[in-house]
Structure formats: C-alpha cells, structure tokens
Amino acid sequence: MTSLKQKNFTKLLLDKALVLVLLLMITAIIIIEPSFLQWRVLKDIFTQSSIKLICALGLMFPLLLGGTDLAGGRQVGLAAVIVASMTQTMTYASRLYPNLPDLPVIVPILIALVVVAIIGFLNGFMIAKLRMAPFIATFGMSTIVYGINCLYFAQEPNRSQPIGGIKESLTMLSSTKIFGISLLVYIAIVVAIIAWFVLNRTVYGKHLYVVGGNKDAAKVSGVNVAFIIISAFVIESILVGFAGILEVARTGGANSAYGNAYEFDAISSCVVGGVSLSGGIGKVSGAVIGVIIFTIISYGLTFIGMNPNWQLIIKGLIICSAVALDMRKNA
C-alpha cells in the first residue's frame, strides 16, 4: 500500500513538477515587482498570449499524432509577409505592389491561408506517404519556407525593407477593444472553443487521438491514418498562418523575421500544459494554461529588466525540462 502511494506521489510530482516551478518563478517576479499585477499589464499579457495560443493550438494537432512541425514559425512569417504586402494603403509611398488594386482584406487573408495550407499538405504527405520522420520533413520544409519568404520579401521595390502602411480594416482586429480587452483575445477564445469541439466532439478528433496512441491499432480499426496525418498538418498550417495574419494586425507591419522560433514556444507551452510528445495525450485546456504560464514568465522577465540573453537561457532550460519530464512520464 505504501509502495503504491509512493508511486502515485512520484507520478503526481512528474506531472506537475514543471508547472509548480514555473508558478514559483511567477511568484518571484511578483515579489520583485508588485506592479506586475496591474490590470494594464495583465491585458498586455492576454493580448500577447492570444496569438501564441493560436500557434500552440495549431501545433497541438501534429503533437497529438506523436509528430511536430519545425516549419510552424516560418509559416507564421510567410503568411504575415503575404498579407502585409497586399493590404497596404493606396497612399503608402513604399508599396510592395504599386499597381495592385485596392483589394478587400479577406482576399489577401485567403491567399495566405491557401499558401500555408499547401505547405501543411506537403508536410503531411511526406510524413504519411513517404514515411519521412516529422522532425526531418518539417525541418527541411522550414528551410524552404524561409528561403521563399526571404525571396518574396526582397523583391523590387521593397528590397527587404519592413512592410508598413497596413489598412485599418486589418489593424482593427487588434485595435478594437471590447470591455477594454483587445479583439485578438476574443478571437483566440473562439479558436480554442472550435479546437476543443473538433478534438472532443467529432469522429475526426477521436480518430486523431487513436492514431496518436497507436497507428497500427488505428489501421486495424479502419481509420484512414494517412488522411488523419495529412489533414492534421493542414489544420496546423492554417492556424499558424492565421496567427501570422493576426500578428500583422497587432504590429501594423511585417518582415521576414516574423514567427522566428514561434514553434518552439508553442511546443513547450503545449508540453507544459500536458500534451505528450509521444502522441495520443493532451487537452486544449492544458495548451491554454501552458501558453498563459509561458507568456507570463516571458513578459515578467522583461518587466523586471532581466538581460534578454539570460531570458533565452531560461527559456531553453524550460523547454529542455518540459521535454525531459514528458519523456520520463511516458517511458
């Protein structure tokens, strides 16, 4: 009986150890700088979390399959640059496309989402049909996407200058406030609800968990494993692309560096929230909690004036710890 209790305690410690450490870090930040609890600061954290949450929800789909997408961040950047280049005001002096007519904002958004969806399809196809390891397939795709993004960004007359002059019809997605909170936060909540519904209330979601838990058993059960894998990567690409579009709305511009390393923050947030890298385990609520905790720490370290280089070290330690604990839990 004592042995069973010790085993259960060890399991609980492994499950919650990193979350407890991160909460202690947040407590330390509050003690060092009590003004961190101001409502203004919390609103900024929620706004920053909204875009990262959409990225994390996207990455959650391949993670539930036991895979990953190292091209996620580069797709954020590509979608951002495509949309920004096509939503510049007609009076802006440095338009990337001087002769482009005034398009409804939905047109560039759809173009960007189609482009990243194709990338997601190619990722899924390489993994499902060509039997490539997700790490290798998406790492190669990340390099390709970044190259395409840089070529697109460097074309005349832009010459790699930051893209600005974004239409108000796009930036209003960030500037609009409801009860003092940015519209981005509400958009993220809606995306989270849709993701929860897909994963928990649809046959597709159940099949996704089954494939992530045991591909062979899924095949025997009649699940179209290739379709689940490819579609999961397409959904992920659409969500990270959408996050890139919202990033343009938030910042009012774009450059080829947008989205750099976003996938690592998203993956680590998911793992902190209980999404297993082995596949088949994870909840939307966990991803939400992980993103909020991770954003609070990132924002908090900046808020107390910590050297950015030390912040990178701490973030790296969190990621390594999250992965190590996940491996131990599922060993």
166-180 pLDDT, tens digit each? 999 999 998 899 988
* pLDDT per position as a tens digit, 17-63: 667 777 788 888 888 888 888 888 888 888 889 999 999 999 999 99
Q: Is the pLDDT of residue 74 over 90?
A: yes
Q: Is the pLDDT of residue 11 over 80?
A: no
What is the per-residue pLDDT for 225? Answer: 95
Q: Is the pLDDT of residue 7 over 60?
A: no
Per-chain mean pLDDT for the chain: 88
What is the per-residue pLDDT for 12? Answer: 56
* pLDDT per position as a tens digit, 184-203: 999 999 999 999 999 999 99
Burial degree of 91 (CB within 10 A; 0-12, 13-18, 19+) = exposed
What is the per-residue pLDDT for 98? Answer: 84
Residue written as token pair 């491996």:
327
Domains, the chain, with CATH or none? 22-329 (1.10.3470)
Among residues 293, 275, 294, which one has the least CA distance to residue 284?
275
What is the per-residue pLDDT for 99? Answer: 84
Element (H, E) at 178: strand 177-178
Q: Is the pLDDT of residue 330 over 80?
A: no
**Measured CA distances, 90 to 70, 171, 285 (Å):** 36, 15, 42
Paired tokens of 326: 């996940």
Among residues 230, 224, 243, which one has the least CA distance to residue 79?
243
3-class DSSP assignment, residue 182: strand
What is the distance between the alpha carbons of residues 187 and 182, in angstroms, rounded to a whole number? 9
Do 119 and 144 contact (CB within 8 A), yes or no? no
Q: Is the pLDDT of residue 9 over 60?
A: no
How would residue 298 be classed by pLDDT, with cut points 50, 70 and 90? confident
Q: Classify the C-alpha dihedral 184-189-195-197 as positive or negative.
A: negative
Q: Is the pLDDT of residue 13 over 60?
A: no
**Measured CA distances, 63 to 53, 100, 154, 245 (Å):** 15, 39, 33, 23
pTM, to two decimals: 0.90
Element (H, E) at 321: helix 308-329
Average pLDDT over residues 285-307: 88
